[in-house]
Amino acid sequence: MKLFVYHTPELTPKDQVPDCAIAVDVLRATSTIATVLSAGGEAVQVFSDLDELIAVSETWPPQKRLRAGERGGGKVVGFDLGNSPLDCTPELVEGRRLFISTTNGTRALKRVQDSATVLTAAFINRATVVQYLLEKQPEIVWIVGSGWEGSYSLEDTACAGAIAHSVVEKSQLPPEELAGNDEVISAIALYSQWQNNLLGLFHHASHGKRLLRLECHEDLKYCSQTDVLTVLPIQKEPGVFKS
Which of these segments, 7-15, 33-41, 100-108, 189-197, binds ligand MLT (CB under 6 A)? 100-108
Which residue in the set 12, 38, 45, 83 belongs to the binding site for ligand MLT (CB under 6 A)?
A: 83
* Residue ranges in 105-134 that form contacts with ligand MLT under rule CB under 6 A: 105
CB of 199 to ligand MLT, least distance (A): 15
CB of 28 to ligand MLT, least distance (A): 4
Query: Are the beta carbons of 241 and 37 closer than 8 angstroms?
Result: yes
Query: Are the beta carbons of 80 and 34 closer than 8 angstroms?
Result: no
| Closer CB to ligand MLT, 45 or 103, in the complex | 103
Rounded to the nearest 5 percent, the helix, strand and coil shares of the chain are 45, 20, 35
Q: Is 146 exposed, middle or buried (0-12, 13-18, 19+ CB in 10 A)?
A: buried
* Residue ranges in 1-60 that form contacts with ligand MLT under rule CB under 6 A: 25, 27-29
- Looking only at the bridges linking them, the beta strands covering 74-75 and 43-46 are unpaired
Enumerate residues 6+ apart whose C-beta is below 8 A from 51: none
Nearest residue to ligand MLT by CB is: 102
- Looking only at the bridges linking them, the beta strands covering 240-242 and 234-237 are antiparallel
Q: How many CA atoms lie within 13 A of 162 on its CB side?
A: 28
Does the protein bind ligand MLT through residue 104 (CB under 6 A)?
A: yes
| Closer CB to ligand MLT, 4 or 148, in the complex | 148
Q: Of 46, 58, 30, which is closest to residue 239 (Cα–Cα)?
A: 46
Which residue in the set 42, 53, 68, 70 belongs to the binding site for ligand MLT (CB under 6 A)?
A: 70
| Closer CB to ligand MLT, 104 or 157, in the complex | 104
Does the protein bind ligand MLT through residue 85 (CB under 6 A)?
A: no
> Which residues lie near ligand MLT (CB under 6 A)?
25, 27-29, 70, 73, 83, 102-105, 146, 211
